[in-house]
Amino acid sequence: FFHFSTFVHHTIRHRHTHDGSPPALDEDMAKYAYAPLSVEEGGRRRGRYPHEADSDDQLVNERMPMCVGICVLLAIVYVLSRTGGGEGPALAPQQQQQSNAAAQSMPPVVTSGAPDTAPVAASSAASASVSTPAATPATSNAAIANPQEPCDCNGLVDPSTIDMGTLRAKALESTPPHIIECAKADANTDQSACHLPAEKRFAALGQKGATLWMTGCSGAGKTTIATALEETLVQKYGKHVYRLDGDNLRTGLNRDLSFSEADRAESVRRTGELSTLFADAGVITLVGLISPYRGDRDLVRKRHEDQGIPFYEIFLDVPVDELKKRDPKGQYARVEAGELKHFTCIDDPYEEPLNPEITLKTHELTIEQSADTLFRRLEQDGVLEGAPKVSPPGLPNPDGDEMIDLHVPAELRSERMAEAETLPKVLITDVDLNWLQVIGEGWAAPLKGFMREGTLLETIHFNSILVDPFNLTGNALRHETQTDFANFADRQAPQRVSMSVPITLSCSSFTKAAIESSDKRAVALVTQMGQTVAILRDPEVYNNRKEEIITRMFGAIDPGHPYIQHIDSGGDYLIGGEVELLDRIRYNDGLDQWRKTAKELSEEFQSKGADTVYAFQTRNPTHAGHAYLMRSAGEDLRAQGYKKPVLWLSPLGGWTKEDDVPLDVRVRQHEEVLQAGTTHPGGLDPETTVMAIWPAPMVYAGPTEVQFHAKSRRSAGASYFVVGRDPAGMKGSHEAVAHQDDDLYDGDHGRYVLQNSPGIGDMKMLSFVKVMYDITDNVMKVPDESRLQDFISISGSKMRLLARNGAVPCSPTDIPTDLVEANCVPSGFMVPNGWDTVVDYYKNVDSGRWTPWSRPLVQPPEAPRTTSEGTFGHTDYLLRHKEYDSFWHDIPLRPSGEGEEIVNLVTEIPMYYTAKMEVNKKARGNAIAQDINKDGSPRYYTYGTPFFNYGLIPQTWEDPSLKSAQGNAGDNDPIDVMEIGSSQLQIGSVQPCRVLGSLELIDEGETDHKIICISLADKDASRIHSMDDLERVKPGHTARLIDWLKRYKTTDGKPENALAQETPTTQSEALAIISETHERWRKLCGKEGNSYGTLPGTEGFFLSTPACKGVE
């Protein structure tokens, strides 16, 4: 309507009436080119009440465009219905009364029902068609070849001479490009201002709109391929698709058009406009038109590009000779018989595309291959996803359609670190650190923190969570806000994504109290090694319902299961909240080069030119059977049409059970596999393989866990996941109720559940097949049933036995049937250097030099005048003083020149560190060493992050022969100190410390005094001289010390400790205790008449130091 009304207005303004005067039209009518409201809407809003009525003149001005437009539209429709093609001026209004008579003399024209490639009219007289019964091709050709004589129009314009193509062109040229009918739109903007934003529309639909414009000669396969693609997209993927071709266009929208060059151009233009609207609405539009003229197609392309709509020109490039052989409609035969003239691609031109997006040589491809090529392109460009493409082309978006990377920007790191110092501290274990890395690096997308209670419930009950990344239902932040069990959203979030494994952070009552008493809305996450690694915002603390989590997660009852034990050992509360990583998580174990974030890994896939990625997870060394499966999977993907599938060799890097192959052994062996490349049957091509450690812990939850393995790999770009038998399973422990020393899960269940799990989306599975070693060519492959005698099986248990025995390569031409007896391994079983790595491990499995899983190796803050050996946090760590022979005996009780209340503090455990370090009473030099549990493992605090520095006062000893009033003996150690300053002290440092008081801990029947002091170097030392001062300057600090001492062992499954009294002693009472223990130390060293004898309980103590018993 607006196009025509504007054209007529433009025309009338430049024409004159019969008397030569200008037309009586308002010269300001052009202002209606931009209307803030539609005429209809404006009419509804005005005139509802009499007193709101506008003046008559105003109404006339407003309604005049509509009236004129309707009149002109009716006139044009009338002309179209009564005239054919031709050249000449349009009928004047006063001549319309004679048009019926003139129309009677019009020649017959081609109408609906004409073949898609009907001949172009030889005369412009057939450039327009009318709605009359369809003429047969023969009739049409005759009409065109023998046009009737022009009518006797009695001096009036012959309608058959009107050139509708020229008329349309002029109308289009004079139409303003931006006609606005929306109140939200301003001048010089387009209609998109009035519409739902494309991002939200596409997100709601789950796809983007696009036009696939298939062009080519008749018979090239446009309709056939479009139909096959449509069926795939609609039936298999539930996408909204519509085809536009000659069959459904020329029976309706284009029924008034012939096959003249002008009408063909108009047909392409109309179809282009229609496909633009369809695609803008989110429909994948498949257009199948010969559209022979390049310029017409380019205009359609430009129209799409101007609207920001994907446009794919698809050239079906088939030789004419092949088309003649196909000839599905018999038209090429008729052309050759001379029955059809001006047939496109034969005697009428077809202008091939110069730069089509896709070229299909359909004579070389099957229908399925052609359709699949188009499908892959749509998939690669993200058209089949509603969300914007955030991953590289060809790779899937992560769940939630957001690439998660929660590292604090470098320019804000110092600011965030300073903030973290002021926040309550939350202890995270090394397993928690693995999970933090999973969250922060994007492996658990769309998760942005440790699970809140609502998110946890969805995970354990549905193995998935509902998300609303584009806030379609107002639920965008549902996983990032406090769980509310009283109020629920009106509508569910629209998208379900896989999330099968709980990712939670447990804490003790100590940490819970610290969070709840803080006025901060954030906490700092601190590792066992004292490293502040992240900030968690808006913490939500809730009960840790361990039994519910375990039963829902594992579906098995096995108290001896290692990860079930891990859950059981956690605190009674869970903390949920979003995290910010203060820096890259590094483990400093020599393997960090293989640790990449999800984003970094997807970029590496892109750099290799991957158009799809398939992931292979490893918990064992890679042998030739694995390599065969991985190579075969790549070949299968190439057969499906992928150009460069890339393999992701993905060793599991997080926590694993004790008897699994250590991480460093697996990675070093994989390095050799890549180094060998394709020169060995057990090698992998480094050009098409990427190795990267996957950071998550292994939880051994079978079918539940494998879902997370797959979804997590998709976060970095994998579309395929290789799944073997019993994925993520293990044998039950001796405590298992139903499956002791047997598989907890059926071997086939994992693959089945994974394939049918909620939220898994388009992730596809590649299954293992059984492979064996072919002794005829020394290659592992699928066995040939016709010659099974040539294949031998090498199981995992046999491989481990051979490695322990140090097996050497067998002769390639004489492979024995009993490999163990011959103590040899077939040469094609594993790359040689990789086999050497495996042998080294199994022959030295108990050496302790391996890295079982990703645990941080941290250099502690050691005092300058100390020297260390071994690895901090491990049982081989020792720290000695360079100047004193012994931390215990040779450092004086008090610094020189200080008063009685000042003592020397030897720091054993710096603030925030949980590795339990203490002076070793029996080691040479009484080195500071790692304390151990009864099973020989390193001992760590688990109750929380220590908020104090811990150490000893030298030259003191709590004599076990001395009984307290309650009958408790001394604990046979130097007296302990809790330094309550604000700064972390260095391990092995000697600090003057002011005594404030003490607490008497009763620990398993022993008296264990804890002296409370403050370092003289602390910023508050001048203000704190007593326990009363401490409470005044740091309110609540004393209560926290008491809580720690009483309950710090409860998270290890032990009962609470007791205190001899609930309040600290005074400074003078504490000094008296120090004096008593100093005298007892003197007795230990033989300075009180003991004649260097050995006191009971001190056997093996290192006392041969200058200040104790002298150097022997």
Helix (H, G, I), strand (E, B) or coil at 5: helix
* Centroid of chain to Cα 429: 24
Cα(1023)–Cα(1034) distance, rounded to whole angstroms?
11
Cα(381)–Cα(397) distance, rounded to whole angstroms?
11
- The encoded tokens of residue 782 equal 């699928």
H or E element at residue 710 = helix 703-714
Place of tokens 């060394």: 621
H or E element at residue 1037 = helix 1037-1047
Cα(1044)–Cα(1051) distance, rounded to whole angstroms?
11
Cα(849)–Cα(844) distance, rounded to whole angstroms?
9
Neighbours of 702 (CB within 10 A): 23
What are the DSSP E strand ranges found in 247-293?
Answer: 284-288
Burial 909-918 (b: 16+ CB within 10 A, else e): bbbbbbbbbb
Q: Which of 997, 1010, 980 is nearest to 1065 (CA)?
A: 997
Helix (H, G, I), strand (E, B) or coil at 987: strand
Please, which residues have CB within 8 angstroms of residue 410's CB and are 6 or more apart in sequence?
Answer: none
Q: Helix crossing, 509-516 with 1037-1047: angle to 10°?
A: 160
Please, which residues have CB within 8 angstroms of residue 47's CB and are 6 or more apart in sequence?
Answer: 53, 54
Burial 1019-1042 (b: 16+ CB within 10 A, else e): ebbeebebbeebeeebeebbebbb
Residue 55 burial (10 A CB sphere; 0-12, 13-18, 19+): exposed
Question: Is the CB of residue 336 less than 8 Å from the CB of residue 330?
Answer: no
Q: Which of 801, 794, 795, 812 is nearest to 838 (CA)?
A: 801
Cα(1006)–Cα(282) distance, rounded to whole angstroms?
76
pLDDT at 105: 36
Neighbours of 1079 (CB within 10 A): 15
Q: Which residues pair with 963 in a beta bridge?
A: 969
Cα(942)–Cα(1078) distance, rounded to whole angstroms?
32
Question: In this predicted model, what pLDDT tens digit does every residue of 504-561 receive, in sequence order?
Answer: 999 999 999 999 999 999 999 999 999 999 999 999 999 999 999 999 999 999 999 9
Q: Which residues pair with 1014 in a beta bridge?
A: 994
Question: In this predicted model, what pLDDT tens digit does every residue of 814-837 receive, in sequence order?
Answer: 999 899 999 999 999 999 999 999
Q: Which of 594, 660, 684 is nearest to 841 (CA)?
A: 660
Place of tokens 């000669």: 217
- The encoded tokens of residue 715 equal 């976060």
Question: Is the CB of residue 109 less than 8 Å from the CB of residue 128?
Answer: yes
* Region class of 487: left (phi > 0), else alpha (psi between -120 and 50), else beta: beta
- The encoded tokens of residue 146 equal 């023998």
- The low-confidence residues of the chain, meaning pLDDT below 70, are 1-155, 157, 159, 175-194, 1089-1093, 1112
Question: Is the CB of residue 499 less than 8 Å from the CB of residue 398?
Answer: no
Contacts 24+ apart (CB under 8 A), 708-712: 708/444, 708/498, 708/499, 708/500, 708/501, 709/617, 710/498, 710/754, 710/760, 710/763, 710/765, 711/399, 711/497, 711/498, 711/499, 711/500, 711/759, 711/760, 711/763, 712/438, 712/443, 712/444
R_g of the chain computed on alpha carbons: 42
Cα(598)–Cα(615) distance, rounded to whole angstroms?
13
- The encoded tokens of residue 563 equal 């990860």
- The encoded tokens of residue 181 equal 């009918």
**Prior bond of 539 cis (ω within 30°):** no
> CB-hemisphere CA count at 13 Å for 949?
27
Q: Is the pTM of this model over 0.85?
A: no
Please, which residues have CB within 8 angstroms of residue 1024's CB and are 6 or more apart in sequence?
Answer: 980, 994, 996, 1014, 1030, 1033, 1034
User: What type of residue is 330?
Assistant: G
pLDDT at 162: 75
Neighbours of 175 (CB within 10 A): 16
Say how many Å lie between the first and final Cα of the chain, rounded: 112
Q: Which of 502, 398, 520 is nearest to 452 (CA)?
A: 502
What are the DSSP E strand ranges found in 724-790?
Answer: 764-767, 772-774, 779-781
Question: Is the CB of residue 296 less than 8 Å from the CB of residue 268?
Answer: yes
User: What type of residue is 474?
Assistant: G
Cα(842)–Cα(826) distance, rounded to whole angstroms?
18
Q: What is the 3-state secondary structure (H, E, C) of 95-157?
A: HHHHHHHHHCCCCCCCCCCCCCCCCCCCCHHHCECCCCCCCCHHHHHHHHHCCCCCCCCCCCC
Cα(562)–Cα(731) distance, rounded to whole angstroms?
11
H or E element at residue 466 = strand 464-467
